[in-house]
Amino acid sequence: MKFGNNMSRIGKKPVKIEKGAEVKIEAGMITIKGVKGQLTKPLVKLIDTKIENEEIIFTPQNEDKATIALWGLQRALVQNMMKGVTEGFSKKLELVGVGYKANVQGTELVLDIGFSHQVKFPAPEGITFVAEKTNITISGIDKALVGQMAATVRDVRKPEPYKGKGIRYEGEVVRKKLGKKAAGS
């Protein structure tokens, strides 16, 4: 199949099947099983997916613009599944503020972040929390679920622009605003 200028640079790369991972493609679903766990996702019907020489290969059925876009998406999702079941994903958050702290009780993340009450997050299936004073690590095998959980925790108390207090991603730079004092000088 020849695709003129509408090639997906990501879609045409095959996904290497890592050691210790098993891949099954059946009934429009792909299942990848590895040392960390197992993930199953539906496949896009417009993209042919097959296993050849320890690689997963994706081929679009036509040159339609939407199909070419889905080609790269399908490959990226399968690559994330492969990485998740073999290595896993994690996001790190930092608590910045006087008296802010986090701890884990059972499978629940408990935050003391300046409210009159503690904020508790039960861990969804496949997610684990690790808390060390002001650092939180959220890990799991599903990249989207790990990212969503980190965003949900961060949304409870986003970093404010004057003092920088709140929950932020590790390494995130919070641009601080000047207060009234500096503006009047």
Domain holding 38: CATH number? 3.90.930.12
Domain with 74 in it: 15-86
Residue 181 has pLDDT above 90, yes or no: no
- For residues 108 and 79, membership in a common domain is answered with no
Tell me: the pLDDT tens digits for 120-172? 999 999 999 999 989 999 999 999 999 999 999 999 999 999 998 999 999 98
Residue 2 has pLDDT above 70, yes or no: no
- For residues 41 and 81, membership in a common domain is answered with yes
Tell me: the pLDDT tens digits for 13-65? 999 999 989 999 999 999 999 999 999 999 999 999 999 999 999 999 998 88
Residue 24 DSSP SS3: strand
The pTM for the full model equals 0.86
Q: Of 86, 106, 123, which marks where a domain is finished?
A: 86
Beta-sheet pairing, 108-112 with 29-33: unpaired
Number of domains in the chain: 2
Backbone angles phi, psi at 83, to 5 degrees: -65, -40
Residue 90's alpha-carbon distances to 87, 105, 128, 171, in angstroms, are 10, 19, 9, 14
- For residues 114 and 159, membership in a common domain is answered with yes
DSSP string, 84-152: HHHT-EEEEEEEESTT-EEEEETTEEEEESSSSS-EEEEPPTTEEEEEETTEEEEEES-HHHHHHHHHH
Torsion (CA) 142, 147, 149, 153 in degrees, nearest 10? 160
C-alpha span between 155 and 121 (Å, rounded): 12
- For residues 123 and 145, membership in a common domain is answered with yes
| Cα of 112 vs its chain's centroid, Å | 25
157 located within any domain:
yes
- For residues 77 and 128, membership in a common domain is answered with no
- For residues 79 and 100, membership in a common domain is answered with no
- For residues 57 and 97, membership in a common domain is answered with no
- For residues 43 and 78, membership in a common domain is answered with yes
